[in-house]
Amino acid sequence: MPCDETDPSCDTTAPEYYKKIEKKAFNVELCDPSVDGCNPMVCTEDEKGCSITACSEDNLSEGEACSKSTQE
């Protein structure tokens, strides 16, 4: 998610890489991403079985590459 441009610590030139998210299917919101109002995919504070892995050369699977996000 892009940072708030009014925040002085926001670096709008820094790349925003995709992350892998693993969570239980029953905790995934059924929502069409092309429709406004979908909540972002995140792990809640007390959600068990949910993890977020930032993209890095150390954790890429075969055929994967880190790429800058174009979604806002």
pLDDT at residue number 1: 44
pLDDT at residue number 5: 62
Cβ-contact 15, 68 below 8 angstroms: yes
pLDDT at residue number 8: 72
> Could you tell me which of 20, 15, 22 has the C-alpha nearest to residue 53?
20
Cβ-contact 63, 55 below 8 angstroms: no
pLDDT in tens, 4-52: 667 676 766 766 667 888 999 999 888 887 777 788 888 988 999 999 8
Q: Is-above-0.85 flag for pTM?
A: no
